[in-house]
Structure 1
Amino acid sequence: MNRQLPNIALHPLRAELYNELHSRPFQILPCPAQVTHIALLTTNEQRQQQFRHLQELHELLDETPPEQDTSCFEATFGNLRIRREMHMEFAAYTFIDLAPKNDAEPFRDTALALLPKGWLDQLAGTVVAAFHLDLQRAENGPNTDLGVVRPWFEGQRLVGSSPLEGKARVWGTFQLHSDGFGRFMVLNHSLSNSQLGRLSHRLIEIETYRLMSLLALPLAREITPNLNEMDQQLAVITQALSDNQDVDEQEILAELTQIAARIEAYRARSTFRFSATRAYHRLVLTRLEELREDELSGHLTITEFMTRRLTPAVKTCESVGDRLEDLSRRVDRASDMMRTRVELAIQSQNQQLLSSMDRRSKIQLMMQHTVEGFSVVAISYYLISLLKLAMDAAHDAGIHFNKTLILGVAIPVILLTVFLGIRAIHHRFIKMARREE
């Protein structure tokens, strides 16, 4: 008895999460078949153009065009199967001739011949990977493969293995041929159509992800000489600071700022690319493990070839990325050293300034005391003059007294009174200043 899910809240992405694992199913491929795979770097605008271009293809083939773009689209038009997969930064097109002619030549009569003329030329994007897979039945043993296979690879050095416990043999060169495409040949011994589809898909992913991971290598080579230059420049600055040499702080800070700006510019250009390289490389290694290869005598397996050629290139990119991060940290440390040095110099200047101000304050205080002494005399003089004027006026008014005696007694009294008054005012201001502190 089927029971409905209880009436509880469901996550809005629940169905999408279930479907994600089935968004790019393996194909079922007959044998023989001819496969052409093209991967293009695309922008968001180009993705929309590609979808409209895919709709035009349906119209050219008198089929109903799709109404909505999906991450993985697949359609079959007679003997032609078209698969379009959308990835984070590239779009992958796979064209399959499901029933090639018996006399069809490998890598010459490809699935592209089944497309409307001129349609592929209008495809938006920048091609990174483009290669053919020719799926054939293995009618001969491994020892006779070379005589049959080598002519179709234009005499280039072959890489071959026997994957999936010897149920098939895979040959390739991982190089471009005269038609501008790479080439792989799969000789099927006992694989079912489903197994052949999975094997072909793994080979497609290995070659596509290999090329995508190598996109960072030219950038790493471009950045390396500049990193060497900045490394040497930073070493000279650090040595000068460690030797405690007399340097122009402003000039050093300007150089450090310029180096930091260049590093950040390189990091902005390379961080995503180097991270993508590591991710693609891990995918390549995973797909290689899934092949379960056996060696064909005298030839490198695909895993051996990738380990020897691809891994060093990826390590180079990782090394450049690590150097960028290391340089950034070293610049930060050198900048901290410079800031510390400048702060110590400023503190020393401030200490000297405070000492100078303290000396000036003492001098000002001594001058103030001197001025206060003169002020006592001046104020007392004016007060005595006023007292004398008052006594003269009183004497002229007929009041008789000894002016000389009174004036002689008044002088010390006035001097003492003025002195004590100025001292009281001085102490009052000092108390007010201490309260404000």
Structure 2
Amino acid sequence: MTDVLFPLEQHPLRPALYDELHSRPFQVIPCPARITHLALLTTPEQSQAQFEHLCELHQLMGLPEPEEEVRCYEKDFGHFRIRREQHMEFASYTFINLSPAAEDEALFAQTGISPLPDGWLARLQGQAVAAFHLQLQDSDSGPEADIQMIRPAFEGMRLVGSCPQNGSARVWGSFRMHSDGFGRFLVLNHRMSNSQLGRLTQRLLEIETYRLMSLLAVNLARDIAPDLTEMDQQLARITQDLADNNQVDERAILAELTDMAARIEAFRARSTFRFSATRAYHRLVLTRLEELREDEVSGHLTIREFMTRRLTPAVKTCESVGYRLEDLSRRVDRASDMMRTRVELSIQHQNQTLLSSMDKRSQVQLMMQHTVEGLSVVAISYYLVGLLKYLIDAVYGVGIHFDKALVTGAMIPLVVFLVWFSVRRIHYHFMKLAEKKQDLS
């Protein structure tokens, strides 16, 4: 049968969409096995350095290096496996040691990282958040015998135990760091296949990893909370003063509100991603717990009970601080709007007072202008009459005889009227020009 080409135009991401659900397949893990899981916060530069470090491991093991970096890389070295996964903000490493154990070997004496070359792990870049060992062991004993056998391996710490998958296995853990800096889990297999063990192991690795990743925001929330309380009280005082119509310095209050808004935005910039990631990781933890289908081990908390009792309150604390940030931001915005309204009303009142004062000054200036106009008519008339008197003297000097005093006296009213009329015409002309410019504007 010949291959038939796909007849339609494909979206460029179509192959990646099909591959997405298969990018992190469950592993098939035989029992017994010793597993170590690491989750490291990494930057893009550190991620590239980690890939080069992984290539170095292949060289030390005498195997060909990976050609390119992929989101999920797996390699089987025989009795040793390694799996590297890249996530949004961290990279995870799972080391599986399948070498046979000695009959009298203590639990966790050998771990998943035991086969690694000396010094290789210490040079791995990134900040470790999750680091724990998980050991798979066959067992047909009951819970009481299990506890007596495993308690020394957990250094006497209080244990959390459950029977996932309807009692097909028994899981023990302390959810604490031990003296070697790693956490520890023990899975006692009763009747699970290698595929089922692989799925159970993957869920346990994800539960512990996502639990720790979700708690990264708790200290941040605790650091922010006192500042939010202080700003909340400060804002309550400001709004109460505004409600009581107290005399306040609007500029100083507006400066306080601006400073609070800037601090809130700085907190939001620091916390928004972290709080969102916490909610996402918490939902993943709850999903994986549902998939475990746990039964209770008498006298011990199940993993779900432990998580619900300890993890959920921590996540709720982060959510509460996030909600307080958003609420305080909205309240500061409303208070700022009120203050701006008060400032604008104050400015409008000042403008009205200023316009009223300017109107009074304009009236005074107009009255003074009329007075000056009257005085100017008198002065101009005086100088014109003086000039005309020289003209009368000149005419009288050429032999034309008349009564100079009478003619001069008769000209004074006529000159005053002509000067007054001319001044009024000029005044009227300028008023018409001003009205025309105002209409055009």
Does TM, scored on the shorter chain, surpass 0.5? yes
Q: Distance in 1 between matches of 2:421 and 2:383?
A: 17
Cα distance, 1:144 vs structure 2: 3.7
Superposed CA offset, 1:130-180 (max 9, x none): 111111123123454323333322222111111122222211111112222
Indicate the residue corresponding to 2:51 in structure 1.
51
Query: Counterpart of 1:84 in 2: which secondary structure?
Result: strand
Indicate the residue corresponding to 2:193 in structure 1.
192
Indicate the residue corresponding to 1:95 in structure 2.
95
Cα distance, 1:389 vs structure 2: 1.2
Q: Distance in 1 between matches of 2:379 and 2:249?
A: 56
Q: Distance in 1 between matches of 2:100 and 2:93?
A: 19
Query: Counterpart of 1:114 in 2: which secondary structure?
Result: coil
Query: Counterpart of 1:208 in 2: which secondary structure?
Result: helix
Q: How does 1:26-37 map to 2 (within 5 A)?
A: 26-37=26-37
Give yes or no for contact 2:97–2:114 (8 Å, CA) kept in 1: no
Q: Distance in 2 between matches of 1:258 and 1:100?
A: 65
Matched AA of 1:57: L
Q: Which runs of 5 or more residues in structure 1 are unaligned?
A: none
Matched AA of 1:208: T
Cα distance, 1:403 vs structure 2: 2.9
Runs of 4+, deviation exceeding 6 Å: none
Indicate the residue corresponding to 2:130 in structure 1.
129
Superposed CA offset, 1:376-427 (max 9, x none): 1111112222222111111111223343333333222222221121111111
Query: Counterpart of 1:55 in 2: which secondary structure?
Result: helix
Cα distance, 1:102 vs structure 2: 4.7
Question: Which deviates further from its counterpart, 34-43 or 166-175?
Answer: 166-175
Question: Which deviates further from its counterpart, 230-239 or 167-176?
Answer: 230-239
Cα distance, 1:101 vs structure 2: 1.6
Q: Distance in 2 between matches of 1:283 and 1:172?
A: 19
Indicate the residue corresponding to 1:244 in structure 2.
245
Q: Do residues 217 (structure 1) and 201 (structure 2) align? A: no
Query: Counterpart of 2:114 in 1: which secondary structure?
Result: helix
Matched AA of 2:95: F
Query: Counterpart of 1:372 in 2: which secondary structure?
Result: helix
Query: Counterpart of 2:185 in 1: which secondary structure?
Result: strand
Q: How does 1:32-111 map to 2 (within 5 A)?
A: 32-103=32-103, 104-111=105-112
Q: Distance in 2 between matches of 1:192 and 1:100?
A: 19
Matched AA of 2:265: E
Query: Counterpart of 1:64 in 2: which secondary structure?
Result: coil
Q: Distance in 2 between matches of 1:107 and 1:278?
A: 33
Cα distance, 1:273 vs structure 2: 1.1
Superposed CA offset, 1:21-77 (max 9, x none): 211111111111111101111111111111111111111111111121111111011
Question: Which deviates further from its counterpart, 206-215 or 389-398?
Answer: 389-398
Q: Distance in 2 between matches of 1:23 and 1:344?
A: 63
Give yes or no for contact 2:112–2:133 (8 Å, CA) kept in 1: no
Q: Distance in 2 between matches of 1:232 and 1:427?
A: 65
Question: Which deviates further from its counterpart, 336-345 or 200-209?
Answer: 336-345
Are residues 7 and 222 of structure 1, via their aligned partners in 2, closer, same or farther at CA, if it must alter by over 3 Å? closer
Q: Distance in 2 between matches of 1:114 and 1:105?
A: 17
Indicate the residue corresponding to 1:325 in structure 2.
326
Q: How does 1:293-332 map to 2 (within 5 A)?
A: 293-332=294-333
Give yes or no for contact 1:34–1:100 (8 Å, CA) kept in 2: no
**TM-score normalized with structure 2 length:** 0.95
Question: Which deviates further from its counterpart, 298-307 or 393-402?
Answer: 393-402
Cα distance, 1:290 vs structure 2: 1.1
Q: Distance in 1 between matches of 2:335 and 2:403?
A: 88
**TM-score normalized with structure 1 length:** 0.96
State the number of aligned residues: 436
Cα distance, 1:79 vs structure 2: 0.2
Query: Counterpart of 1:112 in 2: which secondary structure?
Result: coil
Give yes or no for contact 2:31–2:136 (8 Å, CA) kept in 1: yes
Give yes or no for contact 1:60–1:116 (8 Å, CA) kept in 2: yes
Matched AA of 1:170: V
